[in-house]
Structure 1
Amino acid sequence: MTATRLRCLLLAGSALACAGTAHAQSTSGTAAGTLVSNTAQASFTVNGTAQTATSNTATFVVDRKVNLTVVASPATNTQVNLGQTGAVLTFKVTNNTNGTQDFILSADQIVSLGVLPGTDNFDATNLKVFVDSNGNGTYDPGTDTATFIDELPEDGTATVFVVGDIPNTAGENLAFVSLRATVATGGTSGTLGAALVPTDLNILNQDNTVDVVFADNDSDGIGPDIARNGQARAYLAYEVGVRSVNLTVVKTAQVLSDGVNAINPKALPGAVVQYCLTVTNSTLLVPANGVALTDVIPANTSYVPGSITVGGIGAGGACLVSGLPVADDGSTTGLYGGSYNTSTKTVTATIPTLAGGTSVAASFRVTIN
């Protein structure tokens, strides 16, 4: 939609000259390539006779004013876990250029000191960039597969995801990541255009040529981006936020047999007692890795060889369903491990990963001396 203004000048000899100019209503301004043309009209009288004169038509095309913004959305660190894959950072790219443009996208971990708070002490791996294809603001693997912004109209905004993997290394805290967008040529759907090249500002303006002028700001103030380079950056960080979980262990003892009573056996010398340990990770979505349960058998008892089981179902410390038997010598043949140290009289049960919100039971037996 355009609005037309008339500018009129009172010329010598009572001649009135008017010119018309067109203005597109857009935040980014009149679209690049728009032809602006007008003529001037003069009206006058000679010996009482009214006459008019028309000027030649003056024309020029609107040049391309290149501008863009990249912002983090939201501008807060993304909380991740060690060993997490497919961790997502979200950005928004806005086309402030007065024309439809493609945008080249790239992610890197070269971030100047002072741009983000904290100390960067690790790098994410397998960094990839994808564009939100369905506009839902959520990264959908297999759906959001585009790696560049295609034909973004002026004043349009696209959501962009940076996806990476978090190494499983103790002590990692922050990984700074930046998304860079570069304005590229638009006009061909489905094909990434070449990065725009600015017109030499030392060359006089050509009325029939669309010049390219970079008008973007330095987006970070001190980082790799500079003003008027046709690029913009924004920064976010992966933060390993949770370093502890609510892990509890409940232990119970049950007399299985005493050699005298078939029902309700008692804790007599020679009776077999089963200890059950139920370990629970109450922190949802955060696993506890390398869980090791250790228990020194009490005085006045003897360990029953080969009695360790791990992976059972327990409730309130009691083993409801027995787990898998594990070897006393520490060898691992399945998912879980265990051992019995005859010197220290210590029973050990190992659980490689205890998922958040789950419980695993381990048991062993002793006889009363």
Structure 2
Amino acid sequence: MEYAQTQFSGCRPPSPSSLGAGLRLALALGTAALALPSTAAQAAGTLAGTDIVNVAQATYDSPEGSTPITIDSNKVTIKVDELLDVTVVSSDPGDVASAPGLSAQVLSYQVTNSGNGSEAFTLSADTTKPGDEFDSVFEQTILDSNGNGVYDPGVDTLYTPGTNDPVLAPDESIAVFILSTIPAAAGDGDRAEIELSAVANTGHGTPGTIFAGQGDGGGDAVIGSTGARDADSGFFVIQASDVTLTKSATITDPFGGAQPVPGAVILYQLVATTVGSGDLVNLVISDDIPAETTYRSGTITLEGAPLGDADNDGDAGSFADDSIAVALGTVPGGQTRTITFQVTVD
């Protein structure tokens, strides 16, 4: 181990007798007598480019035994290197529901500079990850330009790699959106994985790798624990729905039989069955009154409960222009709705 000699100036050297009698030397190597103000801690510690300044001191009594004399060492300055780190996290709370054939379907992510210097990042999306049931078709990567965390078409910024790579300060995050088209062949319950990755533009690789002189603030850049590259995935899930409609008729003639003679009453029954894991929105069942028959007013029912004929009477049924209609609203998959109405054979 080598020890540095400290040179003293500004006073006459003490005599051997005074050294033996009263010299008390307190050398505090590593004590920062002169230092820059402290900086608030960031995700990766002190900001890149910060100078760490250190000065040691020696204090001893003067030969006359009066005021102590203090001598400063030379100043040692160390510039903090930039640590390159990044994290990517999916922002969606779970699988995002979609349906076959839809475009501009959105998955959301958050990219955070977890290093200690300002850094630009290159983003890339992978919609062809193995192990899922289908691949969505990549459309665009969008940067959240207004910072609200929600994709706003026409407001947020189209991302072009190498042109507008996001530059993030330490601990700064940006929301990123990946837009995709869902193929028409995707089936109910199928999932698609989409991965967003972010890579530091200064460099990435094995933690501890040094890029000399390329750090923010003029120091070196050092690869951090993430390898200056991170990725996370979001998922689409198909919630496809459909409806089957079955119609049947029961005839009651004036003579107690079931013959379709004039004056006979036909009871039509419509059974709507929804299938799939999604919801059918604004489902409406309608049926034209057949020619050579007359609708019997007030005979529409839904699940056995009577419905009115007027459009504005507050219930789901209506009769207009020789057609009945029942508005079922949003119906989840796997349910049935039964509707009946009556006509008289002319």
| TM-score (norm. length: structure 1) | 0.57
Rounded to whole Å, the distance in 1 between the matches of 2:57 and 2:106 is 62
Rounded to whole Å, the distance in 2 between the matches of 1:43 and 1:268 is 121
- Match runs of 1:64-213 below 5 Å: 64-111=82-129, 119-147=131-159, 150-169=166-185, 171=187, 173-183=190-200, 195-197=201-203, 201=210, 209-213=218-222
Letter in 2 for 1:123: D
CA shift digits 1:246-275 (9 cap, x unpaired):
6555667899xxxxxxxxxxx874689999
Letter in 2 for 1:215: G
Unaligned runs of 5+ in 1: 1-11, 113-118, 184-194, 218-227, 256-266, 294-302, 308-313, 325-353
Is the 8 Å Cα contact of residues 251 and 260 (structure 2) preserved in structure 1?
Answer: no
Is the 8 Å Cα contact of residues 119 and 202 (structure 2) preserved in structure 1?
Answer: no
Rounded to whole Å, the distance in 2 between the matches of 1:304 and 1:366 is 11
- Match runs of 1:320-359 below 5 Å: 320-322=319-321
Return the match for 1:14 from 12, 21, 25: 25
1:232 to partner: Cα distance: 0.5
Letter in 1 for 2:59: S
- Match runs of 1:249-264 below 5 Å: none
Rounded to whole Å, the distance in 2 between the matches of 1:323 and 1:154 is 69
Q: Does 1:31 align with 2:37?
A: no
Is the 8 Å Cα contact of residues 212 and 219 (structure 2) preserved in structure 1?
Answer: no
Residues 321/159 of structure 1: CA separation in 2 closer, same or farther (3 Å cut): same
1:30 to partner: Cα distance: 0.9
Residues 158/82 of structure 1: CA separation in 2 closer, same or farther (3 Å cut): same
> More strand per residue: 1 or 2?
1
Is the 8 Å Cα contact of residues 137 and 159 (structure 1) preserved in structure 2?
Answer: yes
Structure 2 match to 1:328: none
Structure 1 match to 2:224: 215
Local SS of the residue matching 2:157: coil
Residues 319/42 of structure 1: CA separation in 2 closer, same or farther (3 Å cut): closer
Local SS of the residue matching 2:77: strand
CA shift digits 1:297-320 (9 cap, x unpaired):
xxxxxx979x9xxxxxx9648982
Letter in 2 for 1:124: S
Count the aligned residue pairs.
274
| TM-score (norm. length: structure 2) | 0.60
Structure 2 match to 1:223: none
Letter in 2 for 1:133: S
Structure 1 match to 2:58: 42
Rounded to whole Å, the distance in 2 between the matches of 1:141 and 1:179 is 20
Identity of aligned pairs, percent? 26
Is the 8 Å Cα contact of residues 111 and 176 (structure 1) preserved in structure 2?
Answer: yes
Residues 204/243 of structure 1: CA separation in 2 closer, same or farther (3 Å cut): closer
Q: Pairwise CA RMSD of aligned residues?
A: 5.0
- Match runs of 1:289-304 below 5 Å: none
Rounded to whole Å, the distance in 1 between the matches of 2:69 and 2:106 is 72
1:58 to partner: Cα distance: 1.5
1:61 to partner: Cα distance: 1.3
Is the 8 Å Cα contact of residues 250 and 316 (structure 1) preserved in structure 2?
Answer: no
Unaligned runs of 5+ in 2: 1-22, 253-258, 294-298, 303-316, 332-336
Is the 8 Å Cα contact of residues 85 and 165 (structure 1) preserved in structure 2?
Answer: yes
Is the 8 Å Cα contact of residues 122 and 199 (structure 2) preserved in structure 1?
Answer: yes
Rounded to whole Å, the distance in 1 between the matches of 2:91 and 2:213 is 41
Residues 268/239 of structure 1: CA separation in 2 closer, same or farther (3 Å cut): closer
